[in-house]
Amino acid sequence: MKKGDKVRFLSETGGGIVAGFQGKNIVLVQDSDGFEIPMSINEVVVVDEELDRKQGRTSKVTNEQKTNTTQQDTPGKQSIKALLSGGYENEEIDNDTEHETDPADSEITFRKPVEERVGCNSLNVYLAFVPENARQLSHTKMAVELVNDSNYYLRYAFATAEGESWTLRNEGEMEPNTKVTLETIAAEDYNSFEQSAFQAIAFKRQKSYVRKPAIDVKLHIEPLKLFKQHLFAETPFYNEPAMLYTIVEGDEPAEAPVSEIDADKLKTEMLSKAAIQKMKQDARSAKGAVSATGKHAHGGRQANEPLVVDLHAHEILETTQGMDSLDILQYQLEVFRRTLKEHANERGLKIVFIHGKGEGVLRKAIINELNRHFKGYTYQDASFQEYGYGATLVKVKG
């Protein structure tokens, strides 16, 4: 007995066609109405039409099928079930015909294999700042992009910190030798990138490769540099000026992993020897080491009058020999911080910091310090008549 054989029942009338089997002992018999009847394999027998005809027996299965065929071929004599079934089947056929789609409209799932470049099996990854208009850095939008200049895929995460709290800015996977835009920022967002971290693993698909160490790099993005036009230059990756920060180059990370950074060592390295010596001298001096200058430089400060501190390099440093602009800026900020800490208990005290106009770098750095580390202090531009354009008035937290 096999699927498709005509069978009849031994213990009762009826029969049908073998539609399938359940296990070894149960056969599924489909009757003329299309229902599948489970029967013991011992209760059915294969119909031999020729033998039945010679012995004067007629298979009920054959008769039912002939009757059913006649009814279907004769208009108006179909059973309700046959009519309904036939109607739905015709509808389905029609619907299938109506919804046939052109193979050309199907989605293309083929992806061309990634082509590798010769000599790019070392990891080279950069963080890029690309302004829309490099001549108006204070008013233009700037794209922050990740550059993968290698034959490796990167599964990455990029985050920034506010104090000890980190925020995920972007994560994903990028293909070899590509660029990915992490986000687009404006000038007011620059400070949020000061402490940034990049983590990634590198791999290749569908081929063997040399395993690379996991990437875990912390970057210090100086916000003030993003305002300086001369620091944006031509690069191999962009047609327009851009500023690049190295994350990994030649398989070597830009700096030690985040967990291994020594904050004191980093601070020491940022200051030149000349600046460190000057700071030590100031620390040994009395509280008035950072003396008032300008209109109060030669006399005692009157009640309710502001303390005036001139942050010009020639006022706070005996010499700038051996110091570059970053060293001088760091020392000016150190004097600023120390002044506020020394007068922290004098609530409501007004302190005027003279920083000069210039490019506004020192002023922006002072505002950044106030917003990050002296949040209770208020500030505003100092009187133009008394101090000119380049001065900021800070009021000690009350």
Tell me which residue has tokens 């990050």.
372
Q: Could you report how far apart the first and last alpha carbons of the chain are, in Å? A: 100
**Strands laid side by side in the 6-9 sheet:** 36-40, 26-30, 15-22, 6-9, 44-46
- Confidence at residue 49, expressed as pLDDT on a 0 to 100 scale: 55
Question: Does residue 195 fall inside a structural domain?
Answer: yes
Q: How many domains does the chain have?
A: 3
CA–CA separation, 328 vs 47, rounded Å?
A: 106
pTM over 0.75: no
**Cα angle value 318/371/224 (rounded, 5°):** 60
Cα–Cα distance between 334 and 287 in angstroms, integer?
A: 15
The verdict on 239 and 347 lying in the same domain is no
> Helix axis angle, 60-73 relative to 80-98, nearest 10°?
60
Statement to judge: residues 241 and 173 lie in one domain: yes
Q: Which domain holds residue 38?
A: 5-53
CB atoms within 10 A of CB 3: 11
**312 shares a domain with 249:** no
Residue 88 inside a domain? The answer is no
Same domain, 44 and 135: no
Q: Identify the pLDDT of residue 267.
A: 53
382 vs 392: CA distance, rounded Å: 5
Asked whether residue 210 is domain-assigned, the answer is yes
| Per-residue pLDDT, 53 | 55
Q: How far is Cα 394 from Cα 347, in angstroms, rounded to an integer?
A: 11
Whether 32 is in a domain gets the answer yes
From the first residue on, what is the mean pLDDT of each consecutive set of 10 residues in the chain (398 residues)? Answer: 83 82 83 82 75 52 49 51 51 52 65 79 95 89 96 96 91 95 93 94 93 94 88 91 94 64 52 53 46 42 81 85 82 91 90 84 89 89 83 88
Same domain, yes or no, for 240 and 140? yes
In this structure, the answer to whether residues 235 and 144 fall within a common structural domain is: yes
237 and 315, same structural domain? no
Kindly state whether residues 135 and 240 are assigned to the same domain: yes
Residue 224 contacts residue 364 (beta carbons within 8 Å):
yes
- Residue pair 362/356 in contact (Cβ under 8 Å)? The answer is yes
CB 196 within 8 A of CB 218: yes
β-bridge mates for residue 45, sequence order: 8
Q: Is residue 82 part of a domain?
A: no
- Asked whether residue 225 is domain-assigned, the answer is yes
99: in domain: no
On whether residue 263 sits in a domain, the answer given is no
CATH number for 353? 3.30.1370.110
For residue 319, the model assigns a pLDDT of 80
Task: Looking at the structure, tell me whether residues 236 and 317 fall in a common domain.
Answer: no
pLDDT for 202: 96
- Domain at 169, CATH number: 2.60.40.1600
At 93 the pLDDT is 45
Domain boundary, last residue among 253, 272, 298? 253
Are residues 217 and 155 part of one domain?
Answer: yes
